[in-house]
Every structure is written in structure tokens, then in C-alpha cells.
Structure 1
Amino acid sequence: MLGLGLAPQPRHRRQLGHGAWTHWGSWSACSSSCGDGASFRTRRCIRFPEEEPCKGKPRQYRVCELDDCPAGSIPFRTIQCSLYNGKPIMESQTQYQWVPFHGAPNLCDLNCLAVGHNFYYTFGRVLDGTRCSPESRDLCISGQCLRVGCDGILGSDAQADACGICNGKNESCIFVQQVFRAAFPSSGFFGYKNVTRIPAGARHIKVTDHSRNYLALMNANQRYVINGDWAIDWPGVYEVAGTKVRYTRTADVHETLETTGPTLEDLLVMVLFQEHNSGIQYQFWVPREQFQHIQNDASPLRQPQTREVVEDPLWELQHFQQATATPHVQNPRDASRNRLQAELTPAPGRTPAQSGRCRKCNTPKGKSQRIHHYCQSDFVFRARILEKRYIGQETRYDVQVKHTYRNHFPIVHREFVWVSNTCDCPLLMERREYVLMARRHVNYEHTFNRILLQHGSYARPWSPREDLQLRDVSKHCLQR
């Protein structure tokens, strides 16, 4: 009898997939005691013989969070090169002194240049935690240059978005991009003019100009940090507002200000006019909570001295009266000011002083008044009066700012100071220097943003004694 047999079936190897990692262990001690350094942690792969090895790496490195090394400390790579000072290399008995060489292809080799000679030698790999190059935060690990991710992990693909959020989606900040197109005044006057204010916290700032004009930068303390005081600085990197600003200028009049930020204080971008403005482009990312602040207070102090000069006095008077016309719904303070101005309205062709309709000026004097007005003012500065001009019911002084003592808003070298009367009160003489304590004036219609000397404001002739008395007044404001 023939038996019926079954053909043997092939035996398939059961696929169990990949093994599983254990939890990460604790981080090791840092490879350095200050400055750059790296630490690592490990994990184990648990798998059956049939399983594939685990995906990923069993060791992970991160940047240590250490304090900066003391000033004058020797860089880590320099120390490693110096360990071979006086030791022979290969068959040569010459004793060399070694310093780091950064021009070799492999950044993580210990490439050292022989002092006084034109060759370098490679002493193997650098130690883990050594910077790949002086300008980079990336570190060498096992002979490989690993990029530092925004999560602090070496070799990580994590990247910060434009808002500075690790692995973010640019949702917590807003991109601002505009072109400043103010025209060069036809009168030929050249000087500084505000371009824009960049608020604290801004990132990825870039300002570009293609003209013979010069970009300038002022910090929150109203001090020029680049191209100020009518002096042009060399291109380079400048420490500004807690970050590094790179200033470039090429022979073909291409000029830029760039920084990745974030800035720790407001910055004021300005331009020193020399010729027609072809358009200054600026862009930056700003936190959302700061964007509304930009919209509400984007305009810095207006500087009419850098706009075109109006040659028709009648047109200028009509334009001024239209700009200051009482609105349908007005602020009570504006109404009170309008009544005061009506009382001081001069007869045709005559100023109130000439008509005998001015009140006696109230001139503050003494230490207590000086402190009171100083602490209540937005601007305290020394100024030289260049020109006085009556416009409508007000007096406009063209002044040269010589020194600032206290400023809540940016102020530049040439400004207009306004007085809400034509009674020469306070009395300011041309070509004389004064200490002025003024307020920022933004009217109810938001058509003016300027420096205003109110009735009874502190305005005293400048003198070395007056200057000395103002030096320590600010401490009294804190006590108040």
C-alpha cells in the first residue's frame, strides 16, 4: 500500500521587529569646569536573538550649561596644543612651540601650528567638548563636529523658529517688513532723521540702504552706538542691546545693519542724509505682545527741520490752523488749551508781546523747583537756540541739542522745540545755550508728536554751575 505523505513545508523565520531601548541613564559630569563642555548619557538595547538591533544611538551628548571662564583664560584647544610644546615629532629633534591652526580640513583634528614656522602638525583628535571653530557653538565628539540643536543636544535636528522657540512654527511672533521713503529736503539741509524704532525682544533684524547716506543706530539711552555724532564708524561687529550687530559698508554704497538678536532694549534706526533717499529697507521679527505697542507708538519725535522748508508763510499758517482745528469731540484739556490760546491771539501783524496782552512769565528757580521739573519732564537737555519763528499762535525754536540729562523718548542733534504762545515766555535768545525741561506732546488728534515747553517750564541759561547741579538730580526722582 502506498502511503500518502505530505510534502514538508518550508520553515519561515518569525520576524519580531526591532529591540527596545531602556530608559536613558543620568547625565555624566561635564568635560569642562567652565565655558564650553559636553556631557553624555547612555541606554541599552534589549532584544531577542531573532530581533533586529534597536534604531538610534546608545549614547547621547549635550552641551553643559556652564558659566563663562574668567577673563584671560586659555582656550581649551590652545591648552591641548601646548601639551606638545618642547616634544619631538617624528624623527626631528627640534623642539617646537604649538598654537591652534584652524585652516585644516578636519575641524576635529588637533591641528597645531609651529610658532615661527609655516607648517602645522596633527596630533590626533581633539578632546570631546572642544569647539569645532572659534566662531561656532558646535562641538567635537569622537572626532566629529556635531551641531548644537536648540534643545541643547549635540547632533539634534531641533531648530529654533524665528521667534526663538525650539521646534516652533513662528506663531508667537510677527514679521515686520517696511521701506522708509522720506524724501531728502529740497533746501539741501542734511542731518539725522528717524527711520524706525525696533522694540526690545526683536530678532533677525536687517536694515539695508543703497545710497551715499549713512545708517546710524541709537540705543535706549539715546546714545549713538554706530555712526553717531557726525562721525562714521568702521564696518565691523558692535555690542549693542545685549547682542552683536554687524555693520557692513561696501565701495558700491551698499550698507547693512544685521543681528540675530534678541535685543534686550529698544533700538532706534536713523539715517544721516547726504543725498536723495532711494528707500531704506528694514525687517525684523517681534513678539506678538510687542506688535500692538509698535502700532500704537510707532512714530518717534517728528523732526520738521529735516523735511522740505515751506517758503509760503500764508500756506504754512493755514496748514497749521487746519492741523490744530478743534475736533467735534475734544479732550477737556485740549479745550482748556484752546481757550488759553484764544486769550493770547495776537492782533493782525502783531505778537501778543507787542500788543501788551501777555501775562507775566513764571520762571522756576531754586533747588526744589529744579528737582520737581526734572522729575516731571520727558526731556532734560542742554540746547543752543539757532532760530526762533512764530507759527500761528505758537513759537517754534530750531535748536541744536548739545547734551541730554534725562530722556524718555529718542532725541537727536537737531530738533524743534515748541512753545504754546508767542509771548516769548520763556524768553529764549538766539545763539544762547539753555537747560530746557520739556514734555512730549501728542495732541488729541494724534497729528503732532513733538517737544513742548509748557507755560512755566524750567528754562535756564546753561552754565558749568547749572550743569553740576543737574548731575545728581535723578536720584531724587527715585525717592519720589
Structure 2
Amino acid sequence: LGAVSAELLLSGKLSEYGVIVPFSTDCRGRFLSHVVSGEAAAGLGQPACPPEPSSSRRRVPRSPPHQSPQRRWLYFNVTVFGKELHLRLRPNRRLVPPGAVAEWQEDFEVLFREPLQQRCLFTGDISGMPGAAVAISNCDGLAGLIRTDSNEFFIEPLERGQQDTEEHGRAHVVYRRSAIRPDVPSVQVGELPNSLELMAERLGDAERKRRHARKDGYNIEVLLAVDDSVVRFHGKEHVQNYVLTLMNIVDEIYHDESLGVHINIVLVRMIMVGYRQSVSLIERGNPSRSLEQVCRWAHSQQRSDPEHAEYHDHAVFLTRQDFGPAGMQGYAPVTGMCHPLRSCTLNHEDGFSSAFVVAHETGHVLGMEHDGQGNRCADETSMGSIMAPLVQAAFHRYHWSRCSKQELNRYIHSYDCLLDDPFEHQWPTLPELPGINYSMDEQCRFDFGVGYKTCTAFRTFDPCKQLWCSHPDNPYFCKTKKGPPLDGTECSPGKWCFKGHCIWKTSEQPYSQDGSWSSWSKFGSCSRTCGGGVRSRSRSCDNPPPAYGGRQCPGATYEYQVCNAEECPGPYQDFRAQQCSKRNSYYTHQNSKHSWLPYEHHDDAQKCELICQSEGTGDVVFMNQVVHDGTRCSYRDPYSVCVRGECVHVGCDKEVGSLKQDDKCGVCGGDNSHCRTVKGTLAKTPKQSGVLKMFEIPAGARHLQIEEVEPASHSIAVKNQATGNFILNAKGKETKSQVFIEMGLEWEYSVEQGKESLKTSGPLHEAISVLVIPQEEEVRSSLMYRYIIHEDLLPMIGNNNVLLEEMDSYEWALKSWSQCSKACGGGIQYTKYGCRRKSDNRMVHRNFCDNGKKPKPIRRRCNLQDCSQPMWVAEEWGACSRSCGKLGVQARAVQCVQRLQDGTNRTLHTKYCPGQRPETRRPCGRLPCPAQWRTGAWSECSVTCGEGVQQRQVVCKGSDSGARCEGDKPEAIQGCHLALCPGKLSGITASADAGDHGTTKGQRVPQDGAKNPVSKISSREPCLGDKSIFCQMEVLARYCSIPGYNKLCCESCGKKASSTTGSAPATGIPPGTTTPSPAPVLSPYPATPARGEPGGDPTLA
């Protein structure tokens, strides 16, 4: 199981759950795949289905003013306790704004920071189920909240980290929120110390003034702090996804229409608090002190600039430490929102149900009281109100009570910090599609003249492929310019053209389908058995493929690895040379066979072509094929290899794409500190004819140079010691300047003014002998040599003539000018300096240069032309976010734009534009929604054995116009049948308040009163009449012996008892009757005191 559900199941906290296998579908619910996680599932995403007639009661997701091209719907089918649900999800782009970060802290310091990801957070609804809502993440399976028309469920994967096995189906756990059995003792109310309030009063109002952006919406920008106990419980690799899912549920709770106000929960910063800091903040058993310390800490994390992307309005602290009495779930001040030290909550994290704790506590900070305590909403607690003072473990659906709505409206207008919009884009959006304003008939008239209209002589499969036109005088003669209609042209009702296809109109732009990669295949076999081969794996851009003008998949189709990098046994064999020499026996050129040698083309694009040179004629011939995979691209690069005819860069660490390089003596990533230069001059006089050996150079030598000191008649020759073969000037050969390939290296041999020279960059794979072939006896031969080797090779040559390699010298050099500080009106730019190596004038990393010698930057004026006056530019209004109710809004982008001299525009901060900014949001669709029946949860059976009764509340809710609910009213009372009671018990009945979820206590009724137990039942309240119309039904009169029913129908039951026995009404307490104390109501939320002035005592929630 996942960390949360495993803990719940193992500790017996789940009374009921199911194990299911969800799957991805298309928009109609047809099976696509068992893959439900992350990018793989996103690749199955589709545009929204064409609109269908639906109930006006359906919850419509809010739409942000700027919609991403990648926003595509996801569809999943899940089976919840025997009922199949079709989830329709779209990304929640309003939870994590641009610039949000996740920060890991340890030992009171920041370890690292990274962008906060939001790619797998979704909200949506359920097909065919008005009023349903879903808040789910699919980072690792499906996890989150599913709210149906009558119940609430949590879903999460059975095991974490199993994304790779999803294609065969992945098990998930689904359970009702009411199935979580909390361990809930009573708690006491705490107070915030006065010092916290006094300190807060000293802070000026200026600290809370923020940019205002919208009149009809509020954004709570949240700092989410996750302490070490939560991180360790869920695991570092899973905790971010978990808490994002949790806050996605909180965001969905605040979008319930019963709240009456448009509030977004926006995560601007997430901090994973280190162990020492976590322990220091929470004082066990002291919630007041713990909250004070958490609020002070959150204030210390605040950004000083209110315009900073990470500036928060409210802090939410999650912990699994016990900060209060056992079972306490949350603690928060009342009406502390926007206050520097009071806008914070302390929450005990205990699974996805903790989202309701966070929502509850944040409700207190917004000014909401407990329902039924200081207000008249006690009747809504059993219906699942979020601000209920006790845990409602059995209710079906959550909602905000009318009191919460009123209390929020009392304070929300004073919370200025919630008015700014962190999602305001400061860049222009794409223009409207051009075909929206022109029909196909009008485009025909533009193309061919007056009178031309769309051709009707034949029907094309897709009218957006090509625009065909005809004239009414000759309707069967159709013309086309072989181009499609403009994007946005209507092609049929509810559809328009886009990139040559007729597609459904939706609220998203653009409407193309971007390509997405399939998973990687397995690596294939290595291309060589030794000497450095390569193997590859591939993926396809078909998950889905790009369509309707969508983008191709980013990145490479193939991925490569170097393999079998160990050297082949025996003398070194040049792999490219082997491929050329194989053609000696069969390849003919100009009607004859040749001995073929490798040839490297100077054009980089030809590096992986097999090109060979005739040893006899010198002709260079293209063999019309690429070299074998694993062949080195160039003799000047010992690591990069050819694959599929393309050169793949490989670093000296044998990793593809690595930038690591050898230093001068072959140390990968080295600094030349182990390099030694060997140099000298050697003169010998031949005593007889034949070859004269001058010196040897060992294997591993690099940057080799050999040259004659003075012109001489003799010739330099070189022999491979391992094979005994000459590689240069075998005896009797004529000498001439040339570049040749031997021993897997490129050599440059030149003869200028009678002096010979030879050089190669190396490294030598085998030792060589340098020889002289004298043309005349007794003529002195004098050669100078120089090469670089690693110090470990010095014993092979002795220490004579060995020098430390001269270190390169570096200097600061002018690199470029910085960007001008202003686009117009006169700005400033400065010089940028880089580090340059003197030996070859190449720019290198700045660490090579002495920072103390870096020149001071030079400044100069730039962009001196005058600026034009900035102006407001407003786009068209977007679609309405609701079809009915009081929360419908539509949005548009408004930017402050300045025209530049080059004809382009740039976007400025809003403070530079004159006048008041045009509104970006306005109400819409504010029509009454039809009324709907709402039911509470069935109470527990009134007896523990035998026949009893259950009851629930049934109300008509949601109508703004006073209209009545359609359809039959659901049942409010039903019988329940339990196992027969054992033996003959002497008249025992249960006594507890209706709606209490505590344990019941028995009351023994005397034997002589067993016939009329009604008269023996006590009540703490006078009878104020029947509370249900069902009380008057004779068939239900037998339930009067049940305390819960007797309280509900006290008047009818009293009349029945009086008419039967003439005794006192049931609401009285007969003399001498012993009444048990009522069962305790257990809650993790302590009672909230009546709230006084803002800034008063805190409340527990």
C-alpha cells in the first residue's frame, strides 16, 4: 500500500475499502490503456469531446485567462464499490504559478531549490453525474478525491513506484472518507500568547500592501511547510507528489459553489523542513506554543519584496508530531488572514482526509466560526458542513454552511493581500485565428472574384483539406488554389478548420495535437566485440503522433551507449583501415584492383562516409556506404564514434554527450600536472650504407614533433616496433610532403627547403623507431624531437631531457557588451569579459583566470531614441466559467504595451500605463440554478439487535429563485434489521443524542414498566413538536420505543402514549427514573469560543 493507506489498513482505521484497477479511456469511455501515470498517460490525452446536452446543474470547471496549448483532457474509468465512474479531468493550472519553488532545508540552511512541478495535477467531474467533482494527481498512479452526487471517496495506488508495470493493470485502493476511524478524544481550547499580537501590531501596514489585479476573485498564495516527520513517513521521493495532491484537494474544497466566493489556493513555495528545525518548532502537548513558533518561523521565511514570486499570504504547516492532546488535528487563529504573524495554521497530517483539516483551519483564519457555536447553523453539521466542530465520520458530502458563507463575506473584502493574481502573464498571447471572421464563401470570393461560393457539386471527406469554389452560373465547375481554408473557418456546426482538418471547437487554443514519445526500447547488441563499439535503443513519436499541425516530439529518437571499450588483443588494428582493406580483393576502380588505405575527408559532414585512398595511385574514392557503427569519426578525436552515418560526440570518460577532455598527456579531465615534456637533439654519422637508427619513442607519447636541424640529403623513416613495418619512407622510396594515415593516427610529413619534419597529435598505440636513410656516407644526420608523456611512463625512457610541461597562460579579454538596460530613451550597457588562453586565443572557463586581475567593466550609453507612450491592450473576453449560479466569471488578458521603433511591441509593468487598468474579470451567467434534493447520512441503527430505525436529513437546496426541487423527495426514515437479541433481556433500551457518534449507554427499565417503555425515556429538551411529516404515519408508531425516533417525533409519540395509558407525555421525566448521562461526543476539533474582535483568541479546528 501507499504510505497513507497502508498505515490506515494496518492499524485498523479503515472500516471498508475496495481494490480496483483503473484504466485510461477516450472521451466516450472506451478503453485505451491501463497506463494511468504521468507523461505516459498524458500522451493518451485528447481534446474535449464535442458538447452534449447536459443538466445545467453540472459543475463547470473554472478556466484561467491564459490556457496552455498542452492542456488536454484525460479520461479514466474507475469502479467504486460496484459502480463504474467515468472521470473527465483537465490540468489544474491555477494551483502552482510560474516561479513557484520547492526548497529542501537541513540544519537551518537551504540545501537546494528546484522549480515546483505541476504537470500531473488534475480537477474535473464525472460523466452523467451533475454536481460531482474530482481532484486527482497521476504522478504515480491515481491519487486524490472523488466526490460523487452522494458520497466522497479517496483513491491511491496499492504500491508506490510501480509506473513501469502499469501496462498490465495496476491495483489501487478506494475507500470512503467516512470509512476512516479517527481516534478522537476531547480537547481544550488554547490561546495565543499576547506577545505575538503585540509584535504584530508594531509592523506597519505598508508590509501588507500588494499589487491589486482583480475585483471578482481571490488568491490565497500559500507557503506550504512540510516538516521532517511527514517527509520521513512518505519518503523523500514521494512527499512532493503527495502534498501537491493534498493541496489540490484543498483547492477543490474551496471551489465548492456553497462558499459563494471565488477563492483559489495557490502554492507559491514549498519548504521541506529539516529534522532539527522541525523538532525545535513543535513543542509536544503545547499547541499554543507550537503555533506561535510556527507562525514566527513562517514570518522569518517571508520574502521582503511584496512583488517577489514567492511572497506568501498564508502559511500552512504540516506535521505528524503530536503538538496537542492526543487526537488534536489542527490549530489556527481566527481572522488572521494577511496578518504578518497570524496568517498561519498548524495541521496534523494523517492521509488525504487531512485536506479537510487544512480547509477547516484556513477557514478559521478567513474568519469562519464553528457551525452551531455562536451561530445558527447547528442543523448543517450532520449534513457535512466543513466548519462543523466535530468529526463527521458518516456524512456523505461536504459543503460550506450558510453561516460560513456569511462570516466569510463579512471579512473577505478587508483581505487586500488576496486581490493580486500570480498568474498574470507579462507576455503577449497568440492572436485570434484568422478564419473566425471569414466564411468559406467569403474566402472563395477573395480567391476567384464576385459571385464565387463554396463548391456544392461534390462533398469532400474533410472540407478543410482544400478550399473548392464554384460560380452559380456553372456550379459543377469547381476551382481550387490547392490551399486549405483559413484556420478558424467554420466547417460544420460546432467545428472549425485547423491545419487542414475539421475539428471540434473547444475553449482551448491552439487545437493541434502535439506528439509524445513512446517508452524506450531495450538496448541492442554491441557493434564491436572489443576496441569500443556502440549500442542503441529507440523510441517512437506515436504516443500520440503529432496531428493538426501539432509539434513533433522534442529530443532524439535514438540513444547510444559506448560498449566493449577494452582494447582488442594483439597489435593495434585501425578499424577504418580494416574496412578499406577488405575491398582490396574485390573492389575495382578504373578497371583494376587497388590496395586501399583509409582517408579522412576535410568536410565534417563526410566524416562517417567510408572513403578510401589507393596506395598505388593516390586516388580518393567514395565507397558509397557509411562506416561501421563504432568507427571513430576522426583521427584527431580518439573518442567520438559514428552511428547510423552520424557522428556522436563521446567524452574521454566514454560517456555519450560528455564534455570531458584529455589533458596533454591523456588524463581525462586532468590539469597537465602529471605531464612531462621530453625533448632533445641527436646527431649521428653513418659509418656504412643502410638504415641508421636514431632513437625510439614509447607508446603513449602525444604531440610528437620530429624535424631536421639543417637540410641534409638523407631521409627520415619511421618503423612500427610491434609489427616491424615501415610507416614512412621505406628504403628506396621517394620522399614527398604528404598527410597520411598509419597506426590509427593522422601524420603530417613535410619537406621544405630540404628540411624534413614529421608530427602527429597521438597518442601512439605502439612504440616507434625513428630512422635515417643516408644518401651519402660520412654525412652527419641531426634530428630534433619533442613529445609529451605521462610521468608514469618515464622509467621507459630514463630521465634525460625531461622537462615539466610548460603551463598555459591565460588572460581576461573583452567578450561582448551586455544587453541595454532600456529598449528606448537612453540606457546603459557594460562590457563583459571572458577568460582567454594565450597560446591559441580560445575562450575557456573563467576559473582559469585570476579573478583579482579582472578589468573593471566599461559602461556606455545605448538605445538613445525616444520612447513611445505605453498603452493598455485588452483581448477578447473568454468563455464563462459557469452556466448558472452566482460564481460565473469570464476573464481576458490586459497588458501594458509599448511600441518600439523597429515595429515590435514590448510588454511593460502595469505602473507605466496611464489611467486605470481595464477590468480583467467580470461576472457572467448569473442565472439561478435549478434546485436539487440534498440528503445527509443515515444515522446508525437505533438498536444493537432486533428491529430499529435509521434517519437522515433531506433538504431542497441550491435554488436561488425559490423553485421547488423536481422529483420525489428521498426517504428520510427507514427501518433497520439486525440480528435477534439473545435470550430474554429485561427491557433494555439505548440512549444517546440523535446524531451523536459516541458510544451508547444502556438504561435498565423496571419490569413493571416494560409494557410502556415510552414513558420511561428521558429527554433533556422540552418537546417542541414533531420534526418530520413522517411522524404522523400510524405504521411508524411502533418506533416510539426507540429514543432517537421518540425525540424526532416527540409530539406524536406523546399523544400515542397518553391515549394508550393516560400517562405523562414522553417528554417528561417520570419520578424515580434513573437517567444515564449522555454519551460523550468525541472530536479532534475543540470547541471554538465566540469570536470577539479581529485578532482575538485563536480557535482549534
Q: TM-score range by the shorter chain?
A: 0.3 to 0.5
TM-score by length of 2: 0.18
TM-score by length of 1: 0.35
Greater gyration radius: 2
